Amino acid sequence: MKKKVLSLLMTIIMVLSVSVSVYADEKSPSATRGEIVKALLMAADAYQPGINKEAIMQGSKNGDLRENEPAKKVEALVMLSRAFGKLPKPVGNDLRSGTFGVEFSDVPAWAKKDIDKLAKAGVLAGNPDGTLGATDTITIDELQNIISRIWSLKGSHLNDDFYEAINKEWLNKSAIPAGEIMDGVFSELHKQNNDKIEKIIDELAGKQFAEGTKEQKIADFYSTALDSKSRNKQGMEPIQKYVKAIDGAKTLDELVQADLILEKELGLTSLFSFSIMNDAKNSSENALYYSGLTSVLDKNSFVTEDAKAKKAYVQYMTKLLVASGAEKSAANALAEKIYDMEKSLASVSLEPHEQSDVNKYYNPYTIEQFDDMFKTVDMKQVLKSMKIDSADKVIVTDVKLAQKGTDFLTETNLNVLKAYAKVQLIIATSGSLSDEFRDAAIEFDATLFGVTGEKTAKEIAVAKTTGTMGGYLEQMFAEKHFSPEAKKDVEQMVEKLIATYEERIKSLDWMSETTKAKAIKKLETMIVKIGYPDKWDTTLDKVAIKTYDEGGSLLSNTVTVNKAYIDDMKAKLGKPVDRTKWGTSVYTVNAFYNPFNNEITFPAGILQAPFYDINAKPEANYGAIGMVIGHEISHAFDNNGSAYDENGNANNWWTEEDFKKFKEKNQKLIEFYNGIEIIPGVLSDGQLTLSENVADLGGMAASLQVVSQMSSPDYKAYFESNAEVWKFTTTKEFAAMLSKNDVHSANKIRVNRTIVNFQQFYDTYGIKPGDGMYIAPEERVSIW
C-alpha cells in the first residue's frame, strides 16, 4: 500500500482556476471615460472623502472631457491613481501577493508618474511582451479588479473588503516561517500544538525507560530522528538492496517482483496503488480500491505544460537518479522520459473536482476483469503477494488513469519504468535517509513553490516523531490539553447546530416533504466524534523501536510502524467496518465529514483558541468553530455528500424534481464563487470549489441562526471571529497552484463571498449599494 499517496477517502472528507491576464475579458463592453469616473467616484469616496470628477478627469486643452469616448487603459489607470491618492507601501502579505518589478515599454511620459505609483504598489500586471497595453480599451470589470487590489492594499474600510480590514494588522506583519509554505490561524495553531507535543517529547528524550513502554518507543524513535550523523554515514545504504534489485531487473516481470519485495519488506510500492476502506455501495464492509500509477506534479502543471514546474521536477528527479548511481546525462534523459510518461497519465486522469464524485470513482471490477485490464502483469499473483487476494472485487477509482498506466507496463518501457520506480522509492523514503536526499526535496519545494529557509533539525525530528508515533502522543496530548469540560461544551454546540439544521431543512421552500424526511433521517443518524476517541488504537503496541546503537535506524523504525498499520488495514479487507475508529490524529488542526460513515469529526487539535475557547464569548465561538461544525454537517448535503444515505451508502434518496432544483442551486453557487481574483492574474474556479462553498454557506447559515436566537446577539463578535480564523498568507506560486487543485476557495473568498449572503452582515455594518461588499438581495445565494 502506498503510504505517501493520499487515499481516496481523505480526498473525499477533507474540510479544509485559471491564470489569466487581468486585461483578458473580451465579453464585457469597453468602458467610456465617463463610466470610469462614475465608478471611481463611488469606489474611492471612503479613501478620499469628497473626491470629485474634476480631480479625477482632465480633458483636452479646450476643456472637452470626452466622457462618451471609450477610455484608453492608460487613461483609466491614471484616473484611478488620482482617485485613490497616496497608496501604502506594500508589506507582508501584499508584498508576497502583488506584482512587482514590472516596467512597461508603452507608457506615455504624461502618465509615467501615476503608472509608476501603481506599479510600485503591486497592483498592475501587464502583457507577456512587456507592454501595459496603454492604448487598449478597458472594461469596468477589469477596472474593478484593480480597484479591489487597492481596497485590499489599503485595508481600511470593511464595507469594501471585510477580510482585509479585519485582518490587516496581522496580514501586514505576517511572515512565512523558514521552511514553510504558508502561515495563518491553521498554521499558528499547528505550531502551538507542535510546541505542546515537543514539550512532551523533550520530557522523555534521553531518558531510559523499560523496554516496550510507550515512553521508551517515543524517546528512541526521536533519538533516531535527531541522529543525522548516523543517517549521513549510512547514505542510501538502507534502501540500496531495493535500488539494486530494480536496476538488475532484465524483464518487466523481474521489475514487478522487485516491487513486490519492496512492498513486502517496506510497505511501499511504485507500480501498484491500492487502498482499503468502506465500500461506497456497502459502507459497512471494507473493500479494495485501486488508483493507478501516480504523478508527483499536479494535473494542471502537466496539462498546461508549466515550464517552471517541468524544469524543477526534472532537475529533482535527475539528482535522485544520480544519487542512485546513474551518470548525469543518462539520468537527465530518463527524468525527461518519466516526465513525459506522467504527463500522459495526467492528461487522462480525473479533474480534481471529479475525484470525490461517486459516479466517477466507483468502478467495481471482478478479479477476472481487473486481471484482464493488465495485459502484461499477472495481477492475481500481485494481489496474492500483497496479501489482499481475499477481495472479491477491485474498485478502480480512475479508470482512464488505470488503463493508461497498463499501457506503460511493457518490456519496451522497461528502462523508464525502472527509473520511475527508483524515483518513487527515493521520494517515499527521502525523509528518513541522509541529508543529501532531504536537501534535494527542500530545493524542489523552494524552486516550485517559493519556499525560503529551512526548518531546524529539531523541528524536523519532532515533526517526524509526531507523525509516526501519533498513536501514543495523541493520548498524552489529549490528557494535557483538552478537558472533559471542553469536550462536553463542544458536544452541546454540535447538538444545537444539528437541531438548527433540522429546523432549516423543515423550512425549505424548494424541497418536498419526502426528501426532507430522508435528509432529516441522515441528520439524526449522523455520528459525532469530538476531541479524542473513546478507545485508543493499540497498533503501536505491536512494534519494537530501536536506536542506531541497537541496530535500528530512522528508516527501519518508520517502516516498522507503517507496516504495522498497513498489515492491520489488510486484515480488515472484506470485514465489517469499525465505525468507532478515527481516521485522523487527535492533534490535527482540521475537521472532517466522512460520507461512508455519515460522521463528523472534530479533533482536539482544532478545538483550541482562536477556533474554540471555553471562556470566549459564545458568538465568537459560533463564528469560528460553530461555523466549522455547520460546515462539516453541510458536507452531508453538498454536491458529493448528498449522494450517500444515512448509512453511508451511495444511494439516491432524492426525488427527481428535488434533485433537479438542488442542481440548479449548485449551478448558481458555481457562478457566484467563480472568476474572483485571488492574486493578480489568478482567478477562483467555482466548479472546483463547489462542495466546500456549499459547506461554507450552509455552515454560516446554521451557526448564524443559533446566534440570532441569543438575547441581544453580538453579530460583530460572530463575523469578526469568523474572518480572523481564516487569515492566511502564502507564496504567489503556491496560491496559483492551489487555485487549480484545492477544492476550498481561497481564504479571503471564503470570508468575503460567503458573509454577503446574510442580511445580519448588512445590518450590523451598514453595508449599502456602492460598497465593495454589497450584493443585491436577488443576487445572493443559499441552499441549506
Whether 718 maps to a domain, the answer reads yes
Whether 721 maps to a domain, the answer reads yes
State the residue range of the domain holding 513. 472-537+581-648+657-779
**3, exposed or middle or buried, with CB in 10 Å at 0-12, 13-18, 19+?**
middle
Show which of 407, 428, 454 is a domain's final residue: 454
* Average pLDDT, integer, range 389-406: 97
Residue 169: other Cβ atoms inside 10 A: 12
Above 60 in pLDDT, residue 3?
A: no
Smallest Cα–Cα separation from 155: which of 147, 163, 144, 164? 164
Separation between Cα atoms, residue 389 and residue 450, nearest integer Å? 44
Separation between Cα atoms, residue 372 and residue 364, nearest integer Å? 14
Amino acid 60: pLDDT: 66
- pLDDT bucket at 126, cuts 50 / 70 / 90: confident
Show which of 103, 121, 154 is a domain's final residue: 154
Cell of 6: 493520499
Per-residue pLDDT tens digits for 89-112: 999 999 999 999 888 999 999 999
Above 50 in pLDDT, residue 18?
A: no
Above 50 in pLDDT, residue 766?
A: yes
Do 449 and 477 share a domain, yes or no?
A: no
Per-residue pLDDT tens digits for 698-754: 999 999 999 999 999 999 999 999 999 999 999 999 999 999 999 999 999 999 999
Per-residue pLDDT tens digits for 217-239: 999 999 999 999 999 999 999 99
User: Across-strand partners of 290?
Assistant: 274, 396
Q: What letter does residue 625 receive in the DSSP assignment?
A: I
φ and ψ at 678, to 5 degrees?
-95, -55
Above 60 in pLDDT, residue 175?
A: yes
Whether 773 maps to a domain, the answer reads yes
* Rounded CA Rg of the chain: 28
Do 493 and 389 share a domain, yes or no?
A: no
Any idea how long the chain is? Answer: 784
Whether 361 maps to a domain, the answer reads yes
Per-residue pLDDT tens digits for 24-72: 334 578 999 999 999 999 999 999 998 999 899 986 666 778 889 999 9
Above 60 in pLDDT, residue 9?
A: no
Do 495 and 413 share a domain, yes or no?
A: no
Amino acid 61: pLDDT: 67
Do 440 and 477 share a domain, yes or no?
A: no
Per-residue pLDDT tens digits for 458-467: 999 999 999 9
Amino acid 27: pLDDT: 55
Separation between Cα atoms, residue 517 and residue 519, nearest integer Å? 5
| CATH number of 668's domain | 3.40.390.10
* Average pLDDT, integer, range 674-678: 97
Average pLDDT, the chain: 94
Per-residue pLDDT tens digits for 398-455: 999 999 999 999 999 999 999 999 999 999 999 999 999 999 999 999 999 999 999 9
Do 139 and 250 share a domain, yes or no?
A: no
Separation between Cα atoms, residue 421 and residue 317, nearest integer Å? 11
Do 295 and 404 share a domain, yes or no?
A: yes
Do 351 and 410 share a domain, yes or no?
A: yes
Do 450 and 501 share a domain, yes or no?
A: no
Separation between Cα atoms, residue 648 and residue 667, nearest integer Å? 25
Whether 753 maps to a domain, the answer reads yes
Per-residue b/e over 527-560, b at no fewer than 16 CB within 10 Å?
ebbbbbbeebbeebeebebbbbeeebbbbbbbbb
pTM: 0.93
* Average pLDDT, integer, range 367-376: 97
Above 70 in pLDDT, residue 536?
A: yes
Whether 527 and 597 have beta carbons less than 8 Å apart is answered as yes
Do 508 and 446 share a domain, yes or no?
A: no
Do 317 and 354 share a domain, yes or no?
A: yes
Amino acid 714: pLDDT: 98
- pLDDT bucket at 8, cuts 50 / 70 / 90: very low
Per-residue b/e over 724-748, b at no fewer than 16 CB within 10 Å?
bbbbbbbbbbbbbbbbbbbbbbbbb
Which residues are CB-neighbours of 64 under 8 A, at least 6 positions away?
A: none
Residue 220: other Cβ atoms inside 10 A: 24
Whether 124 maps to a domain, the answer reads yes
Which residues are CB-neighbours of 128 under 8 A, at least 6 positions away?
A: none
Provide, rounded to the nearest whole percent, the portion of the chain with pLDDT above 70: 96
| CATH number of 297's domain | 1.10.1380.10
Which residues are CB-neighbours of 542 under 8 A, at least 6 positions away?
A: 564
Show which of 104, 136, 154 is a domain's final residue: 154
Do 524 and 389 share a domain, yes or no?
A: no
Per-residue pLDDT tens digits for 260-310: 999 999 999 999 999 999 999 999 999 999 999 999 999 999 999 999 999
Above 80 in pLDDT, residue 7?
A: no
Smallest Cα–Cα separation from 42: which of 84, 96, 4? 84
Give the amino acid at 618. Answer: P
Whether 599 maps to a domain, the answer reads yes
Do 149 and 251 share a domain, yes or no?
A: no
- Spell out the SS3 assignment of 144-173: HHHHHHHHHHHCCCCCCCHHHHHHHHHHHH
Domain count, the chain: 3
Above 50 in pLDDT, residue 172?
A: yes
Q: What letter does residue 626 receive in the DSSP assignment?
A: I
Whether 685 maps to a domain, the answer reads yes
- pLDDT bucket at 671, cuts 50 / 70 / 90: very high
Smallest Cα–Cα separation from 529: which of 471, 472, 490? 490
